[in-house]
Amino acid sequence: MKDRRLVFLYPPAVEALSYPPDCPFKTQRAGLTRQRLLSFGWLGDGHSREVAPRQATRADLEQFHSVRYLDILQRAAAGELGAEGLHMGLGTPETPVFRDLFEYGTWACGAGLTAADMLLAREADVVFNLLGGFHHAMAERAAGFCYLNDVVLACQRLAGAGRRVAYLDVDAHHGDGVQAAFYRRNDVLTISLHESGQTLFPWGGFENEIGEGPGRGYNVNVSLPAGTYDEAFLGAIDRVVLPLLKAYRPEVMVLELGLDTLAGDPLTHLYLTNQVVVELLNRLLALRRPLLVAGGGGYHVEHTVRGWALAWRTCRGEAEEDAGSLGLGGVLLGSSEWGGGLRDRELVVPPEQRQTVDAALEANLETVMGWVFRYHGLRAPSAAVGLSAASG
């Protein structure tokens, strides 16, 4: 669908902002993706355009974060960190204190709100906010490189306008901050596919975490075993995510497209290629709902940039041969690792890995189907139904 209207949000002001040099989180990824899109001629051609978002205000941030927490964040950015800030998670290797922490967060959150407003106003069909995806930030706590939660604010804006929102998080890390924000609500369906909390921070996001009160059955977690490969991941999408989305019938979707799921990421243990980016987005786009795409993790910068560029190309509806996606490796793509263009090469999955992953993931899928499908009028497989009944 080349008539799909795409917007790429990018404020030039963020180019002067950065996390500490030794931090694995690199804010430059969004700008590098933008440069890649411009080099291909995929930005600013009528159907896809660049927009400078607004910066979030304190009033915007206070829609989720407490006044006390925001005050402490601002003081920390100015170089003042006391015991209260330490208790709120600041000052660890994963939440370093640095000058730009608050200002960068306000741009990411402002972009998330700009995206939500554009979708509500029907000014775009798909909006990319690659500055954002800070899904670990709680109302009063920082964690995992996240200080201010742009995706919670965006989902709140959309739900507050009366829209049924589906939030899908495919970052390798569980979206615990988003889960906490909507755990007792049913106007935002939260689904997180992530590496198991048995092997990766934040050590949670298990299948029995399904929401409370009105939100029971509207918080969904699928734990992916270490070594999860493309076919296994897409099987989880087809068997759990798509049935839930079709049953819930969201009016707008928010996707956290963290690419720390890709093989070779230095902080995680999954085994995906960016082929899943294409397959996932094609499935979501077929639902024909407005879509906000947020960034997230991805600690191998070139892999992340290439994957996000591929996501944008997929949303544009480019055919495989368009704009030379094949054979453009090397110098043009800034990569010496693979000369096949944006798409990753196919990875061989050893039989032992396949068997181990399949067995563990099958058990997890049956568990989550048993726990949540009935809340959406879906029939779980017989094994999952039995498991659900046994679990109460």
pLDDT digit string (tens) for 181-202? 999 999 999 999 999 999 999 9
**Fold classified for 6-391:** Arginase; Chain A (3.40.800)
CB-count burial class (<10 Å; 0-12, 13-18, 19+) for 122: exposed
Under DSSP, the state recorded for 263 is T
CA distances from 157 to 12, 236, 287 (A): 24, 29, 21
Has residue 332 got a pLDDT over 50? Answer: no
Give the neighbor-by-neighbor strand order of the sheet with 188-195: 48-51, 6-9, 126-129, 291-294, 252-256, 165-169, 188-195, 219-224
Q: Kindly report, residue by residue over 213-224, the tens digit of the pLDDT.
A: 999 999 999 999
Residue predicted with more confidence, 45 or 146:
146
pLDDT for 319 equals: 65
CA distances from 266 to 24, 193, 224, 299, 352 (A): 9, 19, 17, 6, 23
CB-count burial class (<10 Å; 0-12, 13-18, 19+) for 98: middle
pLDDT for 327 equals: 36
In one letter, which amino acid is 13?
Answer: A
Of the pLDDT bands very low, low, confident and very high (cuts 50, 70, 90), residue 66 is very high
Under DSSP, the state recorded for 45 is S
Query: For the chain, what's the residue count?
Result: 392
CB 266 within 8 A of CB 236: no
Q: Mean pLDDT over residues 340-361, rounded? A: 94
Q: Which of the residues are catalytic? A: 136
Alpha helices in 294-350 (DSSP H): 301-316
Buried b / exposed e along 214-242 (16+ C-beta atoms within 10 A): ebebbbbbbbbbbbbbbebbbebbebbbe
Q: Mean pLDDT over residues 352-362, rounded? A: 98
Has residue 334 got a pLDDT over 50? Answer: no
Predicted model pTM: 0.93
Percent of the chain past pLDDT 90, that is, above it, reads 89
Q: Out of 182-196, 263-277, 319-333, which region has the weakest mean confidence (pLDDT)?
A: 319-333
Domains of the chain, by residue range, sit at 6-391
pLDDT for 335 equals: 38
Of the pLDDT bands very low, low, confident and very high (cuts 50, 70, 90), residue 322 is very low
Percent of the chain past pLDDT 70, that is, above it, reads 91
Has residue 385 got a pLDDT over 90? Answer: no
Q: Mean pLDDT over residues 334-345, rounded? A: 62
pLDDT for 3 equals: 83
Has residue 329 got a pLDDT over 70? Answer: no
Q: Examine residue 243 and say whether the peptide bond preceding it is cis (omega within 30 degrees of 0).
A: no
Q: By 3-state DSSP, what share of the chain in percent is helix, strand and coil, each rounded to 5?
A: 40, 15, 45
Has residue 225 got a pLDDT over 50? Answer: yes
Written as six digits, the tokens of 236 are: 């989880």
Q: Mean pLDDT over residues 146-159, rounded? A: 98
**Ramachandran category for residue 249: left, alpha or beta (phi over 0 → left; psi -120 to 50 → alpha):** left
Has residue 285 got a pLDDT over 70? Answer: yes
Has residue 22 got a pLDDT over 60? Answer: yes
pLDDT for 47 equals: 82
CB 184 within 8 A of CB 211: yes
Q: Out of 50-59, 313-322, 361-370, which region has the weakest mean confidence (pLDDT)?
A: 313-322
Under DSSP, the state recorded for 213 is G
Of the pLDDT bands very low, low, confident and very high (cuts 50, 70, 90), residue 44 is confident
